[in-house]
Structure 1
């Protein structure tokens, strides 16, 4: 992989959170800095990594891409995404090992093509990240099973014409049917951008959403009342 911007906590110890930000096609790591700064403000002890896409953007003079969109179709998108995902998973595991950050404290935060990569990584590698925040993204193919160890937060602009919001709605419906842990927030009047309203909602989700697996673990640990039909 090419360069990676890093924003590391001042204590230089094991970070309590690792956030990996994945940019859109034709962009670069610097394009994710406004989001990174917002996350750093709210989570100052988190380590933030912003890697550059694997390859040079093949449809313009500048920028990077995770996979090519030249001549892309519904049929050839999945294998392209799968190839990028395999490369990214190797990179992510190495980053987690280097920073001694566990998968449970890792969040993948992607925009557009970066969101596709994040969602498909969570789909193929359940639990490699505890959370995914997918801004203006979609699945390469709607899932046939739901991750059980990863919470998915879908964030979209209602006026997005590049990646229509119907993709997010379809994803949420499918995940709900499959018993996944997912949320969806759609901002009216917002297009295909990392809008401050969506960033604010993402931070709210990170702070307030309790993963279903946490509830289930708590319920499983709670003592059960024994009822024998007598009078109590």
Structure 2
């Protein structure tokens, strides 16, 4: 089975890690695309270990970068099936990293952008124990309603951030995701960043840092 890996940023001065923040990139990107968030958030979480694993497959559609699963028709069925296939790889990666660092799920935060947001939500809601936080940028919930109700095993707190000018994943996806999470009893906060297209803006970056601090440090 494929093993995931990617760029990392450890706590400075050989300090032991007290938290693990896993950054999940979008379709056609790779871990280098999101590890750039780590220096910003490390100022807030100096004892956190950051890692941004590359998706398991080359991105055939884009011709460069990686993907967590293929996207051809962008349907709900395709997204859910793809997330289910990729989930065991990510789950194993999380287990291995937590074991290596001597940490538990309560010390874990999952942060995903676009397709990585789908993976963060899918896996985060199905872990044996709840993570401290799940943050999703410009993404969607793959599978809600009866599917989520049947498969849900944990309810980590969730923050979703989306630009109101997103042409790739329209902001309506945020509203559908929030409704699905609310129906499943998951505590979710949401923020719409005005004027933002498909990306992570300054408001979302600041809100994400505050959310990580509150969920990882105030335990």
Question: Which whole-Å deviations, capped at 9, do the CAs of 1:55-101 have from their partners, x for residues lacking one?
Answer: 11111332011111134422232111101011110111111111112
Deviation at 1:2, TM superposition (A): 4.9
Show CA shifts across 1:154-181 (max 9, x none). Answer: 1111111211111111222232233221
Determine the structure 1 residue equivalent to 2:111: 109
Unpaired runs of at least 5, structure 1: 215-232
Task: Indicate the structure (1 or 2) with the bigger Cα radius of gyration.
Answer: 1
8 Å contact 1:14–1:101 — kept in the other structure? Answer: no
Counterpart-to-counterpart distance in 2, 1:200 and 1:153: 12
Structure 1 distance, partners of 2:199, 2:104, is 30
1:182 has 2:210 as partner: no
**Is 1:150 aligned with 2:152?**
no
> In the superposition, relative to structure 1, how do residues 92 and 196 fare at CA in structure 2: closer, same or farther (>3 Å)?
same
Q: Is the 8 A contact 2:4 2:89 kept in 1?
A: no
State the Cα RMSD in Å.
2.2
| Structure-2 residue corresponding to 1:120 | 122
Distance change in 2, residues 1:124/1:209 (3 Å): closer
| Number of corresponding residues | 212
Q: Deviations over 1:124-177 (max 9, x none)?
A: 225352210001111111244366541111111111121111111122223223
User: Is 1:194 equivalent to 2:200 in the alignment?
Assistant: yes
Report the equivalent of 2:65.
63
Give runs of aligned pairs for residues 156-167 of structure 1, distance below 5 A.
Answer: 156-167=162-173
1:18–1:48 Cα contact (<8 Å) kept: yes
Q: What is the TM-score with the length of structure 2 in the denominator?
A: 0.88
Contact kept, 8 Å, 2:29 with 2:67, in 1: the verdict is yes
What residue ranges of structure 2 are gaps of 5+ in the alignment? none
CA offset at residue 208 of structure 1?
Answer: 4.2
TM-score, normalisation: structure 1: 0.83
Q: 1:179 to 1:3 in 2, by over 3 A?
A: closer
